[in-house]
A and B are shown apart, each in its own frame.
Chain A
Amino acid sequence: MRALIALPVVLPLLAAGVSLALHRRPAVQRALSVVVLGATLVASVALLVTVERSGVAAVQVGGWPAPIGITLVADLFAAIMLVISTVMVLAVLVYAIGHPRTRDHGLFFHPLYLILATGVAASFLTGDLFNLFVAFEVTLGASYVLITLGGSRDQVRSGMTYVVINLLASTLFVTAVGLVYAATGTVNMADLAGRVAELPAGVRQALGLLLLVVFGVKAAIFPLFFWLPDSYPTAPAPVTAIFAGLLTKVGVYAIIRTQTLLFPTDGSPSTLLLAIAGGTMVVGVLGAIAQNDVKRILSFHIISQIGYMVLGLGLFTVAGVAGAIFYIVHHIVVKTTLFLVGGLVEQSTGTGALSRLGGLLHRAPVVAGLFLLPALSLAGLPPFSGFVAKLALVQAGLAVEAHTIVAISLLVSLLTLFSMTKIWAGVFWGAPEEVPPLEAAAGDGRLSSPALMVAPTAALVVLSLVIAVAAAPLWDLSERAAATLVDPAPYVEAVLP
């Protein structure tokens, strides 16, 4: 039980070291990554089952008692996030192995990728504000190198922005931790839950706002999102996909965790969070409409979608937070898939610019199908997972009579659909002979993609369909996870018995 909580962090971290030592044997390196992340997935699922059956689990690493020692906590929310993120990490890993561009960077790609997995898992499991900072840095440190892997001019330029912005946010994070410690004398989150409540209202609000800004930069909420659409598209396709799927969501996770645990409202919706949600949704989708490149459109969509998650949190009801959790799970799967498909398009045609693409429906029908399903799901059309997620949020919003934000979210859904049709019309429709001939094309004009890249993409599409079909049990799970978030007594009790 105790080992189970630590395993998702320890396994990939140890493997990263071994992987670095194995840099002369790429085949062994690849096998190691697959096996270790597979084992991590098994451990995560086991953890989810345990937490689902016997409630919040906590372990004190190193044996020091709770408020002083390093705490790892797994509640239902953390366990769900852990399982879904590990599935993504594994799927994208297989895709990356099949991707010709990653093979060139094999030496560093695998160790870095494993460290990234470590950081993400640690962010979900930590029960300590400072450790959250360390986990963020582990994740970001790996991501800095991954995003500039290859060192092209464009990558260095956008990577620079990415590193500077994130380093600034991290410095603010250290500042926030320092101020929290000065005010309360603890950085253990369960301990903080009680102590922050005793602080004067002004100090509490200042700390809450500072942490919101810190995590807001990582999550790319309005108005702190400018770095994202510039930096993500330049990285290799598998790297962009895993960043798009996981990294911003780690930020959202931290926002949800701190806002519910440390700075809960007295049951009423938070106007600030709802305003942020509205701004994020609208600006993100308008940005997406203005773009002419597959990866850039999808990058702006990430921002727009973050708004929905913040919307669910901002309602501060069990239904709202459950909607946010369900939305995150749906979004991670669908978004990663879309970026993987974008990578397939780029890999087979050599470009992602809408003006230079067309007619792929005839030349690569499988890719077209793999794009269409998650695209419709992202826009929220029934019967896909996005519809269920948005319906849940709309119902939760209407239940507390937040009509304005619900109306905005529905309008943004429509605009999302519009920008998706833009990709569809630009990339997949049109006559194939209108576009210049491509080197990768076979004799009959059909484009082929490596099976190792198509298979994980297809698997994720199926997974998103499964989410839609199994919406009822998953919703039940989200609701129970949200209940623990809205009323964190079991969480606090598990850490400080």
Chain B
Amino acid sequence: MILVLALLVGALYAVGTYLLLQRTLTRVVIGLAIMGHGANLLLLLAGGRAGRAPIVDGPGAGPFADPLPQALALTAIVITFGITAFLLALAYRSWLLRSDDEVEDDVEDRRIARLVRRHEENDS
């Protein structure tokens, strides 16, 4: 059981990383969201084996699941949710301004690209 979940966490991280390396903003956002799911699942797994009762009725009712990782995961989910919403708004703004979903080069990249072009013109 825990092996399946561990593999799932690994798969979520892998998919998230792959999407994060794309140049399209929407994929980056989705990649981050998937990776966040992986992290939250990992938090939950940190609480021990699956299958224990989440809530017990009164003292001495047997072993129960560690509540702390669940509380941590809840907090992390809320935070990731908020930031992802902001990121989506930002991506939408970027689309409105440029009508393009691709991540732009930064100032430094553009300078280097210009230099390369100038060298090529000089050579030819």
Contacts and interface: CB of A to CB of B under 8 A. Distances in A.
Given A153-B98, A156-B90, A230-B108, A164 B32 contact: yes
Interface stretch (A26-34, A178-186, A472-480, A483-491): A178-186
B61 to A, nearest CB: 20
A429 interface: no
Nearest to B66: A185
B108 to A, nearest CB: 7
Contact of B72 (A130, A140, A151): A130
B91 A174 contact: no
A159 B94 CA distance: 10
For chain A, what secondary structure do more than half of its interface residues adopt (helix, strand, loop), or is it mixed? helix
A182 B69 CA distance: 9
Contacts of B47: 181
Interface of B: 16, 20, 25, 28, 32, 35-36, 38-40, 42-43, 45-47, 68-69, 72, 75-76, 79-80, 82-84, 86-87, 90-91, 93-94, 97-98, 103-104, 106-108
B86 A145 contact: yes
Contacts of B25: 160
Contacts of B108: 229-230
Contacts of B39: 171, 174-175, 178
A179 B39 CA distance: 10
A182 B45 contact: yes
Nearest to B44: A178
Contacts of A134: 75, 79
Nearest to A296: B107
B46 A160 contact: no
B95 to A, nearest CB: 10
Which 7 pairs from chain A and chain B are nearest by CB?
A182-B46, A174-B39, A178-B42, A178-B43, A181-B46, A178-B46, A230-B106
A167 interface: yes
A161 B35 CA distance: 17
A153 B90 CA distance: 11
Contacts of B36: 171, 174
B69 A181 contact: yes
A49 interface: no
A261 to B, nearest CB: 20
B32 A160 contact: no
Contacts of A158: 106
Interface string A208-232: 0000000000000000000001100
A38 interface: no
B42 A175 contact: yes
B26 to A, nearest CB: 12
Contacts of A168: 20, 32, 35
B46 A141 contact: no
Contacts of A157: 94, 103-104, 106
A108 interface: no
Interface of A: 68, 130, 133-134, 137, 140-141, 144-145, 148, 151, 153, 156-161, 163-164, 167-168, 170-171, 174-175, 177-179, 181-182, 187, 229-230, 296
11 contacts: A130-B72, A134-B75, A144-B83, A167-B83, A167-B84, A168-B32, A168-B35, A174-B39, A175-B39, A178-B69, A178-B72
Nearest to A164: B28
A157 B106 CA distance: 8
A466 B113 CA distance: 46
B22 to A, nearest CB: 11
Nearest to B91: A160
A384 B39 CA distance: 46
Contact of B43 (A140, A151, A167, A174): A174
Contacts of B68: 68, 181, 187
B40 A174 contact: yes
A178 B98 CA distance: 39
A179 B72 CA distance: 13
Nearest to A148: B90
Given A171-B32, A181-B46, A164 B72 contact: no
A153 B75 CA distance: 32
B43 A156 contact: no
Nearest to A183: B46
Given A134-B79, A156-B97, A163-B90, 11 more contacts: A133-B76, A141-B82, A156-B93, A160-B94, A163-B83, A164-B28, A167-B80, A167-B87, A170-B80, A171-B35, A174-B40
A130 B75 contact: yes
Contacts of B82: 141
B100 to A, nearest CB: 11
Of B84, B87, B90, B108, most A-chain CB atoms within 10 Å: B90
A260 B90 CA distance: 38
Given A130-B72, A164-B87, A167-B87, A153 B97 contact: yes
A135 B84 CA distance: 18
Contacts of A181: 43, 46-47, 68-69, 72
A493 B47 CA distance: 27
Nearest to A166: B83
A151 B45 contact: no
A163 B91 CA distance: 11
A130 B75 CA distance: 10
Nearest to B95: A156
